[in-house]
C-alpha cells in the first residue's frame, strides 16, 4: 500500500463501492480454504447488493469481484487482500497486516485497513546529497528505488557557488515535498547534511553519514531502514502527545459523533483511532449518528472509515493506534485546526 494509491482510492466516490477484506497466508498463493472463504465473502456481498441495486449492476459487480480473485491466480500474497469494485473501478490490494474479514458497501471504499497498511509500509524518501549532486529515492520496508528523470539526479553546474547550490537543493526538495510529502532520511557528509537540516522545514527523520554519490540502492536501504523503524516506533507516542497538547490548547475533540461532523467540515488536522474500533450507524434528522445493526442503503457500514476518508480528503493526517491506547478518549480523538 502506498499513499498515491490511497489518495487515488480516496478520490473515488460512487455507489455502490464494494470492499471485500480477507486474510491470506503470507508468501503463498491462495489455498483452497482461503478461496472458499473469499467466495463466502463475495456471496455475502452478492446478498447485500440484491436489496440495494438493480440486478444487472449486482451481477456485474459480483462478477468483477470473482474476476479479481481469479486474477490473483498463483500469485504470492501478503497477510490480507482488499478487493475493491465499483461501477467505475476495480482493483485488488495486497496488505501487509491482518484484517477483520468483512464486506463494506458504501459511497467510498473502506479505508481503515488501507491507512493502517500505509503506516506499516512506511513510505519514505532517501536523499543522498553532496557538493556535486543529489540523488532521490522512494522506499518502503523492502527496498528503495532511485528517481531517474530529466531533473533527477540533480547535478551542480560548473561555477555554481556552494551558497547557490545549497539554495537550489533546498528548493528542489521543498518542491518534491509540496507535491508528495514524505519523511526523509538524508545521506551525506556532515557539512552538507547540516546545511540541509538547518535551512529547510522538511520532515527529516534521520541522517546516514558519508558520501553516497555512488552507493547502490540496496546498501542505502540497509543503512536507512533502521532509522525509519525507530521513527515508526515513536509514531503512536507522537500521535498521543499531539492529542494531549491539543486538549490543553482546546483544539481537541473526541467521540465518534463529534468527530464525524468536524471531519466533514475539514476542521481536523489529525485523527487518531484504535485499530479495532468500528461502528455502523444511521444519520438522524439532526445530523447525529444513531448506531444500528441494520443492513440498509441508508446505513453507513463503518462511520470510522468515513471519518478517515473525510480527514484525508481535506489533507489531514490519520494515525491508527493499538486497541486500548485511546480508552480515555472514547476510542477516537482528533487534533483540530481551529
Domain-wise residue ranges, the chain: 3-120, 122-233, 236-336
Confidence at residue 64, expressed as pLDDT on a 0 to 100 scale: 95
Is the pLDDT reported for residue 224 higher than 60? yes
User: What number is the average pLDDT over the span 106-134?
Assistant: 83
Q: Which CB contacts under 8 angstroms, 24+ apart, belong to 309-312?
A: 309/10, 309/108, 309/111, 310/263, 310/264, 310/266, 310/268, 311/263, 311/268, 311/270, 311/271, 312/6, 312/7, 312/10, 312/111, 312/115
Where helices occur in the chain by DSSP H, the ranges are 3-11, 32-49, 55-72, 112-121, 162-179, 190-199, 217-233, 235-248, 256-264, 303-313
* Domain 3-120 fold: 3.30.960
Tell me which CATH code domain 236-336 carries: 3.30.1330.30
Please indicate whether the domains covering 3-120 and 236-336 agree at the CATH topology level: no
Min mean pLDDT across 47-56, 243-252, 287-296 is at 287-296
Q: Which residues of 128-148 are buried (b: 16+ CB within 10 A; e: fewer)?
A: bbbbebbbbbbbbeeebebee
* Superfamily (CATH H level) for 122-233: eRF1 domain 2 (3.30.420.60)
CA distances from 282 to 188, 207, 289, 293 (A): 54, 49, 6, 9
250, pLDDT greater than 80: yes
Of the two residues 180 and 84, the one the predictor is more confident about is: 84
- Looking at residue 3, its pLDDT comes to 63
**To the nearest whole percent, how much of the chain has pLDDT over 90?**
42
pLDDT at 113: 82
Share the mean pLDDT of the chain. 86
Under the banding of pLDDT at 50, 70 and 90, the label for residue 144 is confident
Q: Which of 75-79, 281-285, 332-336 is the least confident region? A: 281-285
Q: Is the peptide bond before 16 cis (omega within 30 degrees of 0)?
A: yes
Instruction: Convert the pLDDT of each residue in 14-63 to its tens digit.
Output: 899 999 999 998 878 899 999 999 999 999 999 999 988 999 999 999 99
Least confident range from 65-79, 149-163, 284-298, 302-316: namely 284-298
Structure pTM?
A: 0.55
Amino acid at each position: 500500500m502506498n499513499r498515491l494509491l490511497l489518495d487515488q482510492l480516496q478520490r473515488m466516490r460512487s455507489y455502490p463501492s464494494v470492499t471485500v477484506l480477507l486474510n491470506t497466508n503470507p508468501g503463498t498463493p491462495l489455498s483452497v480454504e482461503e478461496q472458499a472463504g473469499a467466495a463466502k465473502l463475495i456471496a455475502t456481498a452478492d446478498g447485500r447488493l440484491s436489496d440495494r441495486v438493480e440486478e444487472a449492476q449486482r451481477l456485474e459487480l459480483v462478477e468483477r469481484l470473482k474476476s479479481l480473485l481469479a486474477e490473483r491466480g498463483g500469485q504470492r500474497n501478503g497477510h490480507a487482500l482488499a478487493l475493491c469494485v465499483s461501477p467505475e473501478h476495480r482493483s485488488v490490494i495486497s496488505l501487509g497486516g491482518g484484517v477483520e474479514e468483512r464486506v463494506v458497501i458504501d459511497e467510498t471504499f473502506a479505508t481503515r485497513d488501507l491507512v493502517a497498511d500505509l503506516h506499516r509500509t512506511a513510505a519514505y524518501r532517501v536523499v543522498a546529497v553532496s557538493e556535486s549532486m543529489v540523488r532521490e529515492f522512494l522506499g518502503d520496508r523492502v527496498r528503495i528505488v532511485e528517481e531517474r528523470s530529466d531533473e533527477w539526479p540533480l547535478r551542480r553546474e560548473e561555477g555554481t557557488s556552494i551558497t547557490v547550490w545549497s539554495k537550489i537543493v533546498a528548493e528542489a526538495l521543498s518542491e518534491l515535498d509540496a507535491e508528495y510529502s514524505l519523511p526523509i532520511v538524508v545521506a551525506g557528509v556532515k557539512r552538507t547534511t547540516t546545511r540541509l537540516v538547518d535551512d529547510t522545514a522538511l520532515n527529516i527523520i534521520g541522517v546516514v553519514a558519508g558520501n553516497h554519490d555512488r552507493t547502490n540502492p540496496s546498501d542505502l536501504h540497509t543503512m536507512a531502514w533502521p532509522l525509519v523503524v525507530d521513527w515508526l516506533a515513536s509514531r503512536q507516542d507522537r500521535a498521543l502527545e499531539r492529542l494531549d497538547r491539543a486538549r490543553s490548547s482546546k483544539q481537541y475533540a473526541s467521540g465518534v459523533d463529534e468527530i464525524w461532523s468536524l471531519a466533514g467540515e475539514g476542521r481536523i488536522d489529525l485523527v487518531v483511532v484504535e485499530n479495532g474500533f468500528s461502528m455502523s450507524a444511521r444519520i438522524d434528522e439532526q445530523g447525529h449518528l444513531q448506531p444500528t445493526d441494520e443492513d440498509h442503503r441508508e446505513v453507513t457500514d463503518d462511520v470510522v472509515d468515513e471519518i478517515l476518508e473525510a480527514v484525508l480528503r481535506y489533507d489531514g493526517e490519520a494515525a491508527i493506534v493499538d486497541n486500548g491506547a485511546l480508552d480515555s478518549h472514547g476510542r477516537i480523538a482528533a487534533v483540530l485546526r481551529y
